[in-house]
Chain A
Amino acid sequence: MDVLYFAWVRERIGLPKEKIETSAATVNDLIAELRAREDRYEAAFADLSALRVALDQELSEFDSPLEGVREVAFFPPMTGG
């Protein structure tokens, strides 16, 4: 699946988008996999209360299942307007 990062999450991880092969069942499982990879992921995902997730471009929850999902995006709370 495609995993996208925006704003400071993108800056902390150091890339806007990557393809990830995963069998993670939920967003939380995917985050656990990413955090185990490298320090920069650990730093980006350290405080989940500061993060939001979208699955296929719809705001979702961290316990949402990933089955059938093609695009996951992580970002901080939005500041439009």
Chain B
Amino acid sequence: MRVIVQESPFDYGIEAEAFADGRHDMGAIVTFAGIVRDIAGGLDVMEIEHYPGMTEKALEKIAAEAVERWSLGDALVIHRYGRMGAGEKIMMVATAARHRKDAFEAAEYLMDYLKSRAPFWKKEHTQSDAGWVAAKDEDEAALKRW
């Protein structure tokens, strides 16, 4: 299990390949990447603030729970902070399981939890304005299914 919090970009292809490489016991790998989406008015910069220390702890706890619950062979979480432009990758998760159902479910669980339980905050900057992204009720509600 690996949790990485970094400012610099990461290479999704290389990370996904490295994660999947050399596994003989796991029949399913699921990867997901979150991308900075453009917004009405044109996104200039997406700024992501985080809580150093707590971020790593929260992500490790979430990933460990996923590994335990779905008997994963491995799990990977990479999440960036700082400033990035539309189209850039913000984060990725990868899960390895014996069967695809567990790999998919575990990846969804990781995404649901790190959306509202890992201390990241997004701020969208346009040419004329800047505003913090509000948490959505449905993101909180999504946790109830687990």
Q: Does B39 contact A (CB under 8 A)?
A: no
| Contact A77 B135, CB 8 Å, known A6-B121, A54-B119 | yes
| Complex contact A76–B91 (CB within 8 A) | no
Q: Does B118 contact A (CB under 8 A)?
A: yes
| Complex contact A78–B54 (CB within 8 A) | no
| Complex contact A79–B117 (CB within 8 A) | no
| Complex contact A7–B121 (CB within 8 A) | yes
Interface residues in B, total, Cβ within 8 A? 25
| Complex contact B51–A80 (CB within 8 A) | no
Residues of A within 8 A of B66 (CB): none
Mark A1-24 against chain B: 1 for CB-CB distance below 8 A, else 0: 000101110100000000000000
* Interface 9-mer from B7-15, B67-75, B95-103, B108-116: B108-116
Q: Does A64 contact B (CB under 8 A)?
A: no
Q: Tell me, in angstroms, the Cα distance from A59 to B79 when the chains sit together.
A: 19
Q: Does A73 contact B (CB under 8 A)?
A: yes
Q: Does A62 contact B (CB under 8 A)?
A: no
Q: Does B34 contact A (CB under 8 A)?
A: yes
Contact of A79 among B51, B79, B133 (CB under 8 A): B133
Q: Does B83 contact A (CB under 8 A)?
A: no
Q: Which of A33-81 contact B (CB under 8 A)?
A: 54, 57-59, 73, 75-81
Determine the residue in chain A with the shortest Cβ distance to B57.
Answer: A57
| Contact A4 B51, CB 8 Å, known A78-B117, A81-B115 | yes
Residues of B within 8 A of A7 (CB): 49, 121, 123, 132
| Contact A76 B51, CB 8 Å, known A57-B57, A81-B91, A81-B111 | no
| Complex contact B119–A6 (CB within 8 A) | yes
Q: State how many angstroms separate the Cβ of B3 from the closest Cβ of chain A.
A: 13
Complex A-B: 5 CB contacts under 8 Å? A73-B54, A73-B119, A75-B121, A78-B117, A78-B118
Other A-B contacts than A6-B49, A75-B121, A79-B115, 15 sampled, CB-CB below 8 A, are: A7-B121, A7-B123, A7-B132, A57-B54, A59-B117, A73-B51, A73-B54, A75-B119, A77-B140, A78-B115, A80-B115, A80-B118, A80-B119, A81-B34, A81-B91
